[in-house]
Structure 1
Amino acid sequence: MVSRNKSAVSGEFDVWGFLLFSHVWTWVWWSIPILQGWHAFRVPGVVFLVVGGIGVTLGGIVMSWQVAGRAGLEDLWRRIIEPSRIPLLWSFVVLVLWPSLALVGAGTATLLGGATQSLSVDPIRTLLADPVGLVSTLLAIFLLGPLHEEIGWRGYWLDRLQLRWGALTSSIVLGVVWAAWHAPLFLMVGYFSSWDFSPEPAWFAFNIVVGSVLYTWVYNNTNRSVLAVILFHFVGNATGQLLDLSSVAQRYQSVATVLLAAGVVVWWGPKALRRDESRPLPDD
């Protein structure tokens, strides 16, 4: 263990100071293409989209250094690059949970609702016929969300929240803040429509808050692995992009996700979510 960086923040700033980057930085940059009416994925709008989006990354890096100095940055880096932190069973969870929930949603829609087209794999077929398109799509999914967001959300902020509250409360707080961070994207021309994905804002926010519980579950059971939640985030986003669910199937998928999150909290109990106290944070 190392001592807390004395030049660092006092009081609650180690928690709320992160929002200066994740929300203030991001929203200032994103407000410009919104006000100008620029398309999210065309120049110059895409420049503001990308630069604004790295606010979460900057928050994770800057606040890790501010709170724990070089040890904090080294700890963050190790948790990003070390696959050995992830137990084999949890590797399986990371890779198959989101596709499984999508299939449960589609299957339930078919069985209970008599849907004839609850799931389409046309997006996958199209991309498999275009290897360059497949690689570029997967790379865009990876870079525009999982990689840069998780360095901040779980790489830094979740630990700070869990030092103050229980894992469930921390998950909900993070989920609400995470959902709010995305809000300007609904006002940005072409962002969601470019992904063939136009969610309802309230439903989108609800799913993020519920999903945040599962992210904490994965994170706390993979030795605080940022790599695990980056991959978990990537598989979730890729599943939503590559498996085209009907609106009814999406609802059933959300129900299945809620039930799983409830099972994590109730059936397995607090131990399923709590942080491993045997692995102290750099400034504990």
Structure 2
Amino acid sequence: MTRRDTLVTRSGFDVWGFLLFSHGWTFAWWGVPILAGWHAFRFPGIVFLIVGGLGVTIGGVVMSWLVEGRTGLVDLWRRLIELRRIPTRWGLVVLFLWPALAVVGAAMAAVIDGQPQPIDAGPLLAVLADPIALVVTLVPIFLLGPFHEEIGWRGYWLDRLQLRWGALTASLVLGVAWALWHAPLFAMVGYFSSWDFAPDPLFFGYNVLVGAVLYTWLYNNTNRSVIGVILFHFVGNATGQLLEVTPQADLYETAVTTLVVVAVLVWWGPTDLRRDAPRPHPADDVTVEA
């Protein structure tokens, strides 16, 4: 640990300084279209929406440099590009957990409530049939959320939180901040109203909080892989947009997700969310799992 890292860690700036960017920067920019009544996806509102959303990204990069200097930036970059950090079995979690939860939720709605079509794969089949539509749909899903958010949330902040607390506590702290970060979007004209149905803020926040535990679980078992959690986030967002489920199926999906989180906590343990070894830390010389 460098002298600079020691000083900022003792002061707590390494943890709470990140919020100056993630919430300070973002809320300042997003507050403009909210107060002006501008539509989120029309000019000039969309400019403030995009630039404001970069607060998490900027925070991840700037704080990595402030806390660990060039070493922190190199470490962040390596975790962004090294797919070999992700063991095969965890790659399957990345690709299939969110779709599986959606399908199970829909199946429960069909069996318990007798819903004839609790899930609609039409949007997914439509983009798969059109390569241009596939690119136009998936690229924004990847860039506007998973890529830029995870550079900050898991690329930087989760490590600092886990240096102070166990994995569960760190996940819940991050989850609350992550949910609150989205809160201004509910007040922004045209953002959630552009969806087929706007989510309930409390329900949305609960899903973010529960999901944060699964992100930490994945992160701690993939050698702190940032690209791993980016892809996990991407698959989750793509599943929500391309596999449309009814509100009742969505409720069942959340219930099943909660049970999965409980199982993860019991089996992997709340302290590390990892069974075979203690969770990796930023200073560790982490080797890639087989």
TM-score, normalised to structure 2's length? 0.92
How many angstroms apart in 1 are the aligned matches of 2:74 and 2:197? 37
| 1:117 CA displacement | 1.4
| Structure 2 residues not aligned, in runs of 5+ | 286-290
For residues 198 and 266 of structure 1, what CA distance do their matches in structure 2 show?
34
SS in structure 2 at match of 1:94: helix
Contact 2:171 2:213 in 1 (8 A): yes
CA contact (8 A) 1:186 1:201 kept: yes
Q: Could you tell me how far apart the structure 1 residues matched to 2:199 and 2:227 are?
A: 27
Provide the rounded CA distance (Å) in 2 between the counterparts of 1:174 and 1:253: 22
Distance 1:127 1:197, change over 3 A: farther
Q: How does 1:179-198 map to 2 (within 5 A)?
A: 179-198=179-198
Aligned AA for 2:282?
L
Partner of 1:211: 211
Which structure has the higher relative contact order (CA within 8 Å, separation 6+)? 1
In structure 2, the CA distance between the partners of 1:6 and 1:90, relative to structure 1 (3 Å rule), is: closer
Q: Distance in 2 between matches of 1:12 and 1:272?
A: 22
Give the deviation of 1:196 after TM superposition.
Answer: 2.9
Shift of 1:265: 0.3
Q: Between the two proteins, what is the percent identity of the paired residues?
A: 64
RMSD in angstroms over aligned alpha carbons? 1.9
Residue in 2 aligned with 1:3?
2
SS at match of 1:235: helix
Asked if 2 retains the 8 angstrom alpha-carbon contact of 1:106 and 1:252, the reply is: yes
Which SS does the other structure have where 2:11 is aligned?
Answer: coil
Contact kept in structure 1, 2:80 and 2:226, CA below 8 Å = yes
Determine the C-alpha separation between the residues in 1 that align with 2:219 and 2:187: 31
Mapping for residues 126-165 of structure 1, pairs under 5 Å? 126-165=126-165
Encode CA deviations 1:47-66: one digit per residue, 9 max, x unaligned. 10110000000110011011
Matches within 5 A, 1:165-244: 165-244=165-244
Taking the aligned partners of 1:283 and 1:86, their CA distance within structure 2 comes to 17
Q: What is the match of residue 88 of structure 1? A: 88
Shift of 1:191: 1.3
How far apart, in 2, do the equivalents of 1:82 and 1:17 lie?
27
Match of 2:282 in 1: 281
Native 8 Å contact 1:161 1:170 kept in 2:
yes
Aligned equivalents of 1:139, 1:244: Cα separation in 2:
19
Q: Distance in 2 between matches of 1:270 and 1:172?
A: 11
Match for 2:26: what amino acid? Answer: T
Deviates further, 166-175 or 33-42: 33-42
Question: Who is 1:259 aligned against?
Answer: 259
1:42: how far off?
1.3
Structure 1 equivalent of residue 24 of structure 2: 24
Letter of the structure 2 residue corresponding to residue 215 of structure 1: Y
| Matched length | 283
Q: What is the Cα deviation at residue 130 of structure 1?
A: 4.1
Letter in 1 for 2:37: G
2:288 alignment counterpart:
none
Amino acid of the structure 1 residue aligned with 2:122: D
Q: Is the 8 A contact 1:58 1:152 kept in 2?
A: yes
Say if 2:221 and 2:279, in contact at 8 Å, map to a contact too. Answer: no
Deviations 1:169-221 (A, max 9, x none): 00011000000000001111111233435110000000000000000000000
Q: Which AA in structure 2 matches 1:57?
A: T
Shift in alpha-carbon separation, 1:4–1:154, aligned structure 2, 3 A? farther
Please identify, of 73-82 and 39-48, the stretch whose mean Cα deviation from structure 2 is larger: 39-48
Q: Give 2:46's aligned residue.
A: 46
Give 1:123's aligned residue: 123
1:249-284 deviation line (CA, Å, top 9, x unaligned): 000000000000000001332476159658441499
Structure 1: gaps spanning 5 or more residues: none
